[in-house]
Amino acid sequence: MQRIFYPRRGWVTSEAMTQQQSPDQIRRAARLEEARAEHQRLAAEVAAHDIAYHQQDAPLISDAAYDALRRRLDSLEARFPELATPESRPRIGAAPSEKFAKVRHAVPMLSLGNVFAPEEAEEFVARVRRFLGLPEDAPLGITAEPKIDGLSCSLRYIDGELVQAATRGDGFEGEDVTANVRTIREIPQRLVGENVPAICEVRGEVYMTKQDFAALNERQLQAGKPPFANPRNSAAGSLRQLDSAITAQRPLHFFAYAWGEMSAMPAQTQFGMIAAFKAFGFQVNPLTTLCTSAEELLAHWRLIEIQRATLGYDIDGVVYKVDDLDLQRRLGFVSRAPRWAVAHKFAAEKATTILRDIEIQVGRTGALTPVAKLEPVTVGGVVVSSATLHNEDEIARKDVRIGDTIIIQRAGDVIPQILGPVAEKRPADAKPYAFPHVCPACGSVAVREVDAKGEVDAVRRCTGGLVCPAQSVERLKHFCSRNALDIEGLGDRQIELFHTEGLVMSPADIFTLEARDKRAMKKLKDREGFGETSVRNLFAAINARRNVPLNRFIFGLGMRHVGETNARRLARHFGTFEALRETGRAASDPDSEARTELNGIEGVGDVVAEAVADFFAEKHNEDVLDSLLNEVSPEPMEAVQTSSPVAGKTIVFTGALERMTREEAKAQAERLGAKVSGSVSKKTDLVVAGPGAGSKLAKAEEFGIEVISEDEWLTRVAG
Ligand code: IVH
């Protein structure tokens, strides 16, 4: 007698079934028997692919083929739910566009300025002294520690418990990698020791040793997978796995060297903070040293450089940091890097190779960029096969010709640079490169603009505007890129495809894609390279971006001269997109109040103000915006600095300042949203006058402008 297992009923004999079931049920039971065999086969196949994909990092079939198998299994289980088993449930992390949640950093994660020559390192120390007004003989402690070549990570502990881990991302918003970080042994789940602050954000570098990297690559190759380029990439790839079981198998390490939000400071110096992190249970770099002069820093730099090869992990320089945290606070930041720290990098690595060809790429602003196509060569552990040649003049200046043997250089993350040709190896028939005067993408004339001062732009630009397919597709890529809308699953390849097929020609089309796909005969999911799951995820990712931070939205529009920093400045100043748009439109007249307002935003000068005005003056852009704003709502941004008592004011410092240097005063005022000017005019709001103030003070009195002392200034801004 036959026995059948039902998940909800247990074993049932076919005799028992016939006794209890209707003819319909009997027929269904027969079909179920057939389905069971099919299900077993499919489930086994899917399981094998899951193992290959997740545990061995080596998929055996394309995502589309996998999706098809999965769909068959799903539909079988939909018809016969009793067949579903835990093993046949969808694989974890299978969705290609499943995303990490975003984490907004309580304190931004900034980058470091670089220096290369010893004199530049000496200048860093001198600059710090000047800024602080420290006499030459006053002591100044600076720490030196290796710059680890990994990826930075911020770990948030509340009452000593690890609650969140985030990658750096764009410095303001990173990805939540908590589950993965919990698998790293060197990262404590719970902090130990005395005086652990209630909120304690420890930052540092996740890295992989050279030995572990080599072993991992060996496994990758054996599994038929492409190897990682270097230990840093493999550490990043390992940390950003959707399945933390994979991260757990990757040997990652961590050095603590910085911090974010702290409810209390365990020390008052950089060196003391690192010692505190060690006491809390972190690994800290043993080569960290406290120095007292530029000479000592350079000596330590040389010592670390000598040890570089035998350290076991990659480093690309030495980081110098002012030790006293009060001084760090006074020094503050310029743009996105601290004034109190700098990375002293090691010399770049060089190699020679052959220049096979020069390709011209057309960017979103129509710029024609020459790209050198090289015979692949390894420099600094990375295979390089192309490098930028920047522009026409650069090619002429270096006189590089197709067929030349050239020297290339690569330092850290920096894109490889072409230093120049090896003259003796030039082939007899090599001709100087003739830069094209027409756009390779659309055939329009490409010109070099001449500005008001008669200076010729270094860049040759296509005049085709949006007629040029290269420009419009590049604008779309920019709009979706990581620091703009950041639409997961809508990478360069997909955009190119959608653009070629006429599905997405302007940003708003991205957001109407789903609705149009519903009505279309040929669906996205049926296209090569897109399964049902990936299309579903793509639409979800698109919809998730219907609300987007204002600065990202502005950056995504790709106005000329409006990069990330200026986008953030505009967002902060205007708070809403409507406010920016209104001023941008009104600013087309160079003498308008609106133009003056744009001009007056700290860091935004004439060139940017004009570019913003030009953008809004262009009818086509207005149309694009109208359609786009039907789909997307840029989130208003709080104007951070408007709350300070001097925000928006124009201030002049004059006379001698006794409590801070002029440079420090300026930086402080700017941090609080004020504009610092060198001369007194009717537009000046406030003059801070120290002893010896002369004509500026007189002028201020003449115009009836408020004048205060340095002490009064400090009291005013203290709150
Ligand atoms: S300090 C505010 N110290 O370098 C300064 N950074 O170029 C915070 N890095 O994103 C950074 N080793 O990933 C600091 N000992 C070290 C470092 C280090 C590596 C990386 C870090 C950062 C990047 C900045």
Q: What is the pLDDT of residues 175-210, one digit of tens each?
A: 999 999 999 999 999 999 988 999 999 999 999 999
pLDDT band at 12 (very low <50, low <70, confident <90, very high): very low
Q: Which CATH superfamily is domain 468-545 in?
A: 5' to 3' exonuclease, C-terminal subdomain (1.10.150.20)
Matching CATH number, 102-345, of 2.40.160.20, 3.30.470.30, 3.40.50.1970, 3.40.50.720: 3.30.470.30
pLDDT at 276 over 60: yes
Query: pLDDT value at position 641?
Result: 55
**DSSP per-residue letters across 187-246:** S-SB--SS---SEEEEEEEEE--HHHHHHHHHHHHHTTPPPPSSHHHHHHHHHT-SSHHH
In the chain, where the domains are located? 3-88+348-425, 102-345, 468-545, 549-635, 650-717
Query: pLDDT value at position 235?
Result: 93
For residues 321 and 288, give the distance between their C-alpha atoms in angstroms, rounded to a whole number: 11
Query: pLDDT value at position 467?
Result: 80
Is the Cβ–Cβ distance between 560 and 614 less than 8 Å? Answer: yes
- Those residues whose C-beta lies under 8 Å from the C-beta of residue 579, and which sit 6 or more positions away, are none
For residue 111, report the distance from its CA to the centre of ligand 1, in Å: 6
Query: pLDDT value at position 670?
Result: 81
- Tell me if domain 3-88+348-425 and domain 468-545 are identical in fold: no
Which residue's CA is the closest to the ligand 1 atom numbered 10?
Answer: 111
Atom of ligand 1 nearest to the CA of 337: 2
DSSP 103: E
pLDDT at 158 over 50: yes
H/E stretch holding 490 = none
Average pLDDT value over all residues in the chain: 87
For a substitution probing ligand 1, which of 107, 109, 111, 112 has the most ligand atoms within 8 Å of its CB? 112
Secondary structure string (H, E, C) spanning 436-470: CCECCCCCCEEEEEECCCCCEEEEEEECCHHHCHH
Nearest one of 122, 123, 129, 248 to 183, comparing CA atoms: 248
Each residue of 483-511: pLDDT tens digit?
Answer: 999 999 999 999 999 999 999 999 999 99
DSSP 404: -
CA distances to 42, 49, 90, 94, 661 from 74, rounded to whole Å, are 10, 16, 9, 14, 70
Is the Cβ–Cβ distance between 318 and 137 less than 8 Å? Answer: no
Mean pLDDT in residue range 669-680: 86
Atom of ligand 1 nearest to the CA of 146: 15
Q: Of the residues 102, 147, 350, 682, which is catalytic?
A: 147
Tell the burial category of 411 from Cβ atoms under 10 Å away from its Cβ (0-12, 13-18, 19+): buried
Is the Cβ–Cβ distance between 31 and 76 less than 8 Å? Answer: no
Nearest one of 171, 140, 112, 153 to 270, comparing CA atoms: 140
Q: For the packed helices 593-600 and 577-586, what is the interaxial angle rounded to 10 degrees?
A: 120
pLDDT band at 44 (very low <50, low <70, confident <90, very high): confident
Query: pLDDT value at position 62?
Result: 56
Query: pLDDT value at position 350?
Result: 85
Which residue's CA is the closest to the ligand 1 atom numbered 9?
Answer: 147
For residue 311, report the distance from its CA to the centre of ligand 1, in Å: 18
Which residue's CA is the closest to the ligand 1 atom numbered 1?
Answer: 258
For residue 663, report the distance from its CA to the centre of ligand 1, in Å: 25
pLDDT band at 414 (very low <50, low <70, confident <90, very high): low
- How far out from the chain centre does Cα 496 lie? 22
pLDDT at 29 over 80: no
For residue 558, report the distance from its CA to the centre of ligand 1, in Å: 29
Each residue of 420-444: pLDDT tens digit?
Answer: 999 999 999 999 999 999 999 999 9
DSSP 52: I
Mean pLDDT in residue range 82-94: 53
Each residue of 587-603: pLDDT tens digit?
Answer: 999 999 999 999 988 88
Query: pLDDT value at position 292?
Result: 96
Each residue of 527-581: pLDDT tens digit?
Answer: 888 889 999 999 999 999 999 999 999 999 999 899 988 998 999 889 899 999 9
Pairing label, strands 650-654, 686-689: parallel
Query: pLDDT value at position 52?
Result: 52
- What residues does ligand 1 touch, defined as CB less than 6 Å away? 110-112, 145, 147-148, 152, 168, 205, 257-258, 319, 338, 341, 343
For residues 176 and 165, give the distance between their C-alpha atoms in angstroms, rounded to a whole number: 6
Secondary structure string (H, E, C) spanning 584-630: HHHCCCCCCHHHHHHHHCCCCCHHHHHHHHHHHHCHHHHHHHHHHHH
For residue 256, report the distance from its CA to the centre of ligand 1, in Å: 10
Each residue of 448-480: pLDDT tens digit?
Answer: 988 878 889 999 999 887 789 999 999 999 999
For residues 298 and 575, give the distance between their C-alpha atoms in angstroms, rounded to a whole number: 46
Amino acid identity of residue 638, one-letter, is: E
In degrees and rounded to multiples of 5, residue 546 shows phi and psi of -70, -20
Atom of ligand 1 nearest to the CA of 111: 24
pLDDT at 356 over 90: yes
Query: pLDDT value at position 517?
Result: 94
Which residue's CA is the closest to the ligand 1 atom numbered 18?
Answer: 147
Each residue of 112-155: pLDDT tens digit?
Answer: 999 989 999 999 999 999 999 998 889 999 999 999 999 999 99
Which residue's CA is the closest to the ligand 1 atom numbered 23?
Answer: 111
Mean pLDDT in residue range 59-86: 69
The 3-state DSSP class for residue 143 equals strand
Query: pLDDT value at position 230?
Result: 83
Is the Cβ–Cβ distance between 271 and 288 less than 8 Å? Answer: yes
CATH 1.20.140.10 fits 3-88+348-425, yes or no: no
pLDDT band at 86 (very low <50, low <70, confident <90, very high): low
H/E stretch holding 420 = strand 417-421
For residues 632 and 115, give the distance between their C-alpha atoms in angstroms, rounded to a whole number: 42
For residues 135 and 13, give the distance between their C-alpha atoms in angstroms, rounded to a whole number: 96
- Those residues whose C-beta lies under 8 Å from the C-beta of residue 277, and which sit 6 or more positions away, are 202, 256, 259, 284
Mean pLDDT in residue range 67-93: 65
For residues 1 and 533, give the distance between their C-alpha atoms in angstroms, rounded to a whole number: 42
pLDDT at 51 over 80: no
For residue 282, report the distance from its CA to the centre of ligand 1, in Å: 16
For a substitution probing ligand 1, which of 145, 207, 239, 257 has the most ligand atoms within 8 Å of its CB? 257
H/E stretch holding 105 = none
- Those residues whose C-beta lies under 8 Å from the C-beta of residue 183, and which sit 6 or more positions away, are 244, 247, 248
Task: Say how many C-beta atoms besides its own lie within 10 A of residue 19's C-beta.
Answer: 8
Across the strands, what pairs with 156? 164, 201
Of the two residues 348 and 521, the one the predictor is more confident about is: 521
Across the strands, what pairs with 204? 153, 256
Query: pLDDT value at position 166?
Result: 96
Active site residue 345: no
Mean pLDDT in residue range 357-368: 94
Measured in residues, the chain has a length of 719
Question: In this predicted structure, which of 313-317, 333-337, 516-520, 614-618 has the lowest mean pLDDT?
Answer: 333-337
Mean pLDDT in residue range 333-342: 90
For a substitution probing ligand 1, which of 151, 172, 318, 319 has the most ligand atoms within 8 Å of its CB? 319
- Those residues whose C-beta lies under 8 Å from the C-beta of residue 75, and which sit 6 or more positions away, are none
Which residue's CA is the closest to the ligand 1 atom numbered 15?
Answer: 147
**DSSP per-residue letters across 537-570:** HHHHHHHHTTEEEHHHHHHHTT-TT--HHHHHHH
Place of tokens 């115009």: 703
User: 650-717: which CATH topology?
Assistant: Rossmann fold (3.40.50)
In degrees and rounded to multiples of 5, residue 640 shows phi and psi of -60, -40
For residue 565, report the distance from its CA to the centre of ligand 1, in Å: 20
For residues 178 and 103, give the distance between their C-alpha atoms in angstroms, rounded to a whole number: 11
Which residue's CA is the closest to the ligand 1 atom numbered 2?
Answer: 110
Nearest one of 544, 539, 545, 537 to 90, comparing CA atoms: 537
Place of tokens 């951070």: 640
For residue 604, report the distance from its CA to the centre of ligand 1, in Å: 28
CATH class, domain 549-635, is mainly alpha
Query: pLDDT value at position 527?
Result: 86
For residues 703 and 504, give the distance between their C-alpha atoms in angstroms, rounded to a whole number: 58
For a substitution probing ligand 1, which of 114, 147, 207, 336 has the most ligand atoms within 8 Å of its CB? 147
For residues 505 and 498, give the distance between their C-alpha atoms in angstroms, rounded to a whole number: 8
- Those residues whose C-beta lies under 8 Å from the C-beta of residue 544, and which sit 6 or more positions away, are none
